[in-house]
Structure 1
């Protein structure tokens, strides 16, 4: 695990993102764009939207074109009855980049967006220069019970309480107070309370019926009552020739930091950065360090050059235990995580 020096983030007004819309397959997609230069694609988590990146976009946009979409069913994008699978989101990102005339990107994905970013890299490696996984979903089956509730009958009906006038604002206010109390107390163990403000903000953002329905469909596409039903570990060996940076909050109560170490062991030559003062939103908790980490990663790596023949050969070779770094115990942990997720999906 490396240590990246931090620096304060100052207001940057000249590269503030502009919100624009594109219609793809008949559905309107919202996307925030800022800056110029090599492209960075930011992919938010489940139930969230591109606003979550607002604090860091201007700083990354100093030297890059930053593209931050609202995934279909999220934010200000349309919320149709559609495919809300990880693969479906990856397809949507490819189509959006084509419409924007962007050929290649460094893709940064948070939470569910990390799983989507990984799937995007797997499906369209020719479009990816680098991959950054931030508290990424889809590593191992283990997940906080609050997310498993999404598969329980009646959960969707209970969540509709946020459609009652006044409830969203009350949830957001309560979340901010809980987070403030948690941090003021110096509580350092992993806990969802650390991110209560963001959690309540995400839930409150689905007060309309269509957004509510899209949120439930997205959640149930990746999580069931046994935990996460998909994993990136079984195909992580394919990223051997793509620079990968993993960022995780040590206090993450939704997706435990152990997942960071599993992913690091499974992805050849990946970099790992653990943020000791962060939970599930390290770019909110330690934005200066997050920006510095991303900038350093981009500056010290060469963009991947896609080679179809090499990709085909890697696929034919498949996952080998020698591809997994670390001790024999690390290798066994990765293989056990793959097996556990596969069993949970059957």
Structure 2
């Protein structure tokens, strides 16, 4: 087995410092996996996007851990998670997710997946009836072939071709609707967050894992008849200004499958970073979650 990051990495530690979660290591499906866990209550699993890591969910974790047991892994080959020596194929990823759920969730969890995490979640829900309590797809890939706005694609390829602070900043300007606002909200976490993202993107193993996940789950659309097999309540949450997977993709999927769609104004492809309060409101609505601190 090969790992992809030193768990004592300074930037990673700085990002996670003070977060309302604990980090531990598991090996679902034989994949060395870094997992953030926190809170009590019904289980909820959060899956991040390609080339990212679990800390992308930090803006909403303080609220979610007040009502749920939240499980946030680094996807295989991402962040501090490793990959097996063999190929990272779709069967392995789905088996990894199934064993992760078994090892961390005492009952079927709500699964919230963003971008490629959404595509993985949709495939898992379709293939594992009864394994989940609900599914939320956030700016998910897999509902159409991956065909981003040319500006987004160019910035992404430049960043992956030469990961550094400048190319990351330029790429994030196309991911976020208001990058300055994102940086201000993250405060002292922003610099280590960006540094860790750049470091990971420069690792050939991370790039290979990202390519494998997109190739297996998102390069082409998941067939509609496969999505029709999803047997749990499913909701779409979408940034209105998503340049990777435009809103019209979500609108078509909502109409085709009868899934409710919540559109987040002032957000790109990552409403968790852009508009965490609005995202939380949409998520609570989608899963009928209580508002922490509210009284009846």
| TM-score range normalised by the length of the shorter chain | 0.7 to 0.9
The aligned counterpart of 1:247 is 237
The aligned counterpart of 1:45 is 49
Q: Pick from 209, 220, 228: which aligns with 1:229?
A: 220
Q: Pick from 127, 136, 156: which aligns with 1:123?
A: 127
Provide the rounded CA distance (Å) in 1 between the counterparts of 2:110 and 2:176. 36
Q: How far is 1:293 from its partner? A: 1.5
Relative to structure 1, the CA distance from residue 291 to residue 87 in structure 2 (aligned partners, 3 Å threshold; closer, same or farther) is farther
The aligned counterpart of 2:265 is 276
The aligned counterpart of 1:205 is 200
Q: How far is 1:76 from its partner? A: 0.4
The aligned counterpart of 1:297 is 286
Aligned pairs for 1:126-141 within 5 A: 126-141=130-145
Q: How far is 1:180 from its partner? A: 11
Alignment deviations for residues 28-81 of structure 1 (CA, whole Å, 9 cap, x no partner): 110111101111110111111111101111211111101111111111001344
Q: How far is 1:174 from its partner? A: 4.8
- Return the index of the structure with the highest Cα Rg: 1
Task: Answer yes or no: is the 8 Å Cα contact 1:247–1:274 preserved in 2.
Answer: yes
Q: How far is 1:110 from its partner? A: 0.5
Q: How far is 1:253 from its partner? A: 0.5
Aligned-pair Cα RMSD in Å: 3.4
Task: Answer yes or no: is the 8 Å Cα contact 2:119–2:217 preserved in 1.
Answer: no
TM-score by length of 2: 0.76
The aligned counterpart of 2:214 is 219
Q: How far is 1:124 from its partner? A: 1.3
Q: How far is 1:126 from its partner? A: 1.3
Runs of 5+ consecutive residues of structure 2 not aligned to the other structure: 1-16, 181-192, 291-296
Report whether the alignment pairs 1:110 with 2:114. Answer: yes
Aligned pairs for 1:1-346 within 5 A: 16-141=20-145, 143-144=147-148, 159=160, 161-162=162-163, 168-175=164-171, 178=173, 183=178, 202=197, 204-222=199-217, 228-239=219-230, 241-268=231-258, 270-299=259-288
Task: Answer yes or no: is the 8 Å Cα contact 1:106–1:130 preserved in 2.
Answer: yes
Provide the rounded CA distance (Å) in 1 between the counterparts of 2:268 and 2:95. 29
Task: Answer yes or no: is the 8 Å Cα contact 2:175–2:242 preserved in 1.
Answer: no
Relative to structure 1, the CA distance from residue 259 to residue 88 in structure 2 (aligned partners, 3 Å threshold; closer, same or farther) is farther
Task: Answer yes or no: is the 8 Å Cα contact 1:85–1:222 preserved in 2.
Answer: no
Provide the rounded CA distance (Å) in 1 between the counterparts of 2:136 and 2:117. 10
Provide the rounded CA distance (Å) in 2 between the counterparts of 1:255 and 1:65. 30
Relative to structure 1, the CA distance from residue 87 to residue 113 in structure 2 (aligned partners, 3 Å threshold; closer, same or farther) is farther
Relative to structure 1, the CA distance from residue 243 to residue 26 in structure 2 (aligned partners, 3 Å threshold; closer, same or farther) is closer
Q: How far is 1:266 from its partner? A: 2.0
Alignment deviations for residues 85-144 of structure 1 (CA, whole Å, 9 cap, x no partner): 444322211111222253301000100111111011111121111110101111112511
Provide the rounded CA distance (Å) in 2 between the counterparts of 1:72 and 1:199. 20
TM-score by length of 1: 0.65
The aligned counterpart of 1:322 is none
Relative to structure 1, the CA distance from residue 72 to residue 161 in structure 2 (aligned partners, 3 Å threshold; closer, same or farther) is same
Provide the rounded CA distance (Å) in 1 between the counterparts of 2:207 and 2:146. 24
Task: Answer yes or no: is the 8 Å Cα contact 1:110–1:135 preserved in 2.
Answer: yes
The aligned counterpart of 2:13 is none
Alignment deviations for residues 222-279 of structure 1 (CA, whole Å, 9 cap, x no partner): 45xxxx323252323223x5211111111110101111111101223x2111112111
Provide the rounded CA distance (Å) in 2 between the counterparts of 1:180 and 1:272. 20
